[in-house]
Chain A
Amino acid sequence: MKRSKQVKLVLITAALASCNRNMSPAGEDPSYTSDPVYYDKTMKQPLADTAYDSTHYLNQQASGSPLWYYSFNPNWYLYYPYFPYGYGLYSQQALIIQDKKNIARKGFGFGATTVSA
């Protein structure tokens, strides 16, 4: 027997079944809600935005979502467990939390329309 015994779709049905025959997806993935806030290197203290306090990030970490979290102690100490240079060495650089200005995009995919093969 060569046949599939069981087929279950958890994502495709939900995400794509409603797409029409338009080749362009109707919209971006909902998870693409981008963070409008960035932290400036020149800042000397945390933003007064409570959405970005340490509790917020710790909670996200506890839920298993992001890989990193922050702790706003007086030294603006950053703990980033996957950072290759270890814990604590980059406390000063931790002034940058989400420096979106400094992230380049569109370095892949320029000019191509499909990879169909």
Chain B
Amino acid sequence: MQRIKTAPRHHWQEAVEKIGFGFHSLDVPYWDESAYYSFTMREIDLIEKATAELWEKCLIAVQHVMDHHLYAQFHIPENIVPLIVKSWEEDHPSIYGRFDFCFKNNILKLLEFNADTPTSLYEAGIVQWYWLQDFDASKDQFNSIHEKLVAYWKVLKDYLHPGTLHFSCLKETLEDLTNAEYIRDCAIQAGLDTQLVFIDDIGWEPDRQIFVDLDNKPIQNLFKLYPWEWLATDEFGPNILADRNQVKWIEPAWKMILSNKAILAVLWELFPDCPYLLPTYFEKKNLLNYARKPLLSREGANIDLVINNTTLLQTSGEYGEEGYIYQQLFELPAYEGNYPVIGSWVIGQEPAGIGIRESDGLITNNLSRFVPHLIN
């Protein structure tokens, strides 16, 4: 993997805005095409293989957590457990997830799995693909995200209740809206009837005990870009179990297990010989160099990086009460002060492509830039 500096396209802002990418520059640049990452096909094959293997292992780990009732280690409330079990036993469908890897010296290690509400899908699937067409259309890219999304929505039709598939995200965030609308775009192309309803506009009709949209139409299927741990603890959380329509939620409730960093400790316990996993525990044990991560933190919040039992870096945030995992430190590689994390997408059970987030430090956070890639 190489980082190569290059000149951004003239009027690149217009180019990305034309395809609906409106949050390319926030307080600091988010989309950054002043460089790109170049991979060999062998490196891409390794990422693809690791993604497929880890997805299989994750499904085994979910079953393990259920069989051994490990929900307390995940800080999952008991009242939600029946929902998780039901969604797993009834095979409620998942459409996507994103493994975050550190890739250094031809070694690939899983840092975490964004299984419930991964973002940067639009940047990975669409924006960097259009960048490549302008930059060098003869080159290849690890990116079949769009085709796989459309194809898998067609498969999922048979798993949904008849009627509309609603899409939901928070208001006031163009990033979330773009991700949700992009996925809806793919569902429309797959022939599904869809409707957008913001998460805070979802209504609860107590007489009929159902969720409704703003037109008071019953919600039967709901793609939500909103994490399960928030859904479960929000005011309407208890209504999810009471709902007479038994909404099909995407991602399903069983993703609460995979989106929790406790899964990293379970994976290590189950598969200590897996070359893509780092030793990870619920306690520090004998680790000297490690990352301490809250079970539910987002965007690099509340993470400690410890070397030789001395804290090297520490981020702030609101997480940690739920508990931590301790993961052996595998530092991100530095490319002239830029630290890339590879986000590898699994869509419809298959590896589908990558997106790279680059930071100025060892912890990837909400200021990290999205940098395109190609295969040489």
A37 to B247: give the CA distance in the assembly, Å: 27
Q: Does A22 contact B (CB under 8 A)?
A: yes
Point out the residues of chain A lying under 8 angstroms from B114, CB to CB.
117
Interface residues in B134-193 by Cβ distance below 8 A to A read 140-147, 163-164, 169-178, 181-182, 184-185, 188-189, 193
Contact of A109 among B130, B234, B299 (CB under 8 A): B234
Segment among B22-30, B87-95, B284-292 that sits at the interface with chain A: B22-30
Question: Which of A93, A98, A105, A110: most chain B Cβ within 10 A?
Answer: A105
In chain A, what residue has the closest Cβ to B168? A108
Taking A2-B140, A6-B147 as contacts, is the C-beta distance between A23 and B175 under 8 angstroms? yes
Point out the residues of chain B lying under 8 angstroms from A105, CB to CB.
200-204
Asked if A115 contacts B226 (CB within 8 A), the reply is yes
A107 to B13: give the CA distance in the assembly, Å: 37
Q: Does A62 contact B (CB under 8 A)?
A: no
Contact of A16 among B22, B132, B207 (CB under 8 A): B22
A21 to B28: give the CA distance in the assembly, Å: 12
A6 to B152: give the CA distance in the assembly, Å: 16
Point out the residues of chain B lying under 8 angstroms from A16, CB to CB.
20-22, 174, 177-178, 181
A99 to B122: give the CA distance in the assembly, Å: 38
A9 to B21: give the CA distance in the assembly, Å: 12
A79 to B114: give the CA distance in the assembly, Å: 43
| Range class of the B interface residue count | 35 or more
Q: Does A44 contact B (CB under 8 A)?
A: no
Taking A2-B44, A11-B185 as contacts, is the C-beta distance between A108 and B140 under 8 angstroms? no
Segment among B2-10, B209-217, B271-279, B308-316 that sits at the interface with chain A: B209-217
Point out the residues of chain B lying under 8 angstroms from A107, CB to CB.
202, 204, 234-236, 239
Asked if A109 contacts B129 (CB within 8 A), the reply is no
In chain A, what residue has the closest Cβ to B354? A2
Taking A2-B44, A19-B174, A117-B118 as contacts, is the C-beta distance between A7 and B146 under 8 angstroms? yes
A3 to B225: give the CA distance in the assembly, Å: 26
Number of interface residues of A (CB under 8 A): 55
Asked if A23 contacts B200 (CB within 8 A), the reply is no
Asked if B188 contacts A10 (CB within 8 A), the reply is yes
Q: Does B244 contact A (CB under 8 A)?
A: yes
In chain A, what residue has the closest Cβ to B98? A117
Point out the residues of chain B lying under 8 angstroms from A11, CB to CB.
181-182, 184-185, 188
A84 to B243: give the CA distance in the assembly, Å: 11
Q: Does B353 contact A (CB under 8 A)?
A: yes
Point out the residues of chain B lying under 8 angstroms from A110, CB to CB.
200, 234-235
In chain A, what residue has the closest Cβ to B366? A116
Asked if B19 contacts A103 (CB within 8 A), the reply is no
A4 to B131: give the CA distance in the assembly, Å: 13
Asked if B178 contacts A113 (CB within 8 A), the reply is no
Q: Does A42 contact B (CB under 8 A)?
A: no
State how many angstroms separate the Cβ of B367 from the closest Cβ of chain A: 11
Point out the residues of chain B lying under 8 angstroms from A106, CB to CB.
200-201, 235
Identify 6 residue pairs between A and B in the complex whose beta-carbon atoms are under 8 Å apart, listed by A's number: A2-B44, A12-B122, A16-B22, A34-B215, A115-B176, A116-B173
Q: A2-B140, A9-B182 are in contact. List 14 more A-B contacts (CB 8 A).
A: A3-B129, A3-B132, A4-B145, A7-B146, A16-B181, A21-B22, A21-B24, A103-B212, A104-B203, A106-B201, A108-B202, A109-B234, A114-B170, A117-B114
Which 8 residue pairs of A and B lie closest in terms of their CB atoms, listed nearest first?
A: A107-B236, A109-B200, A16-B20, A19-B22, A11-B185, A12-B20, A109-B199, A107-B235
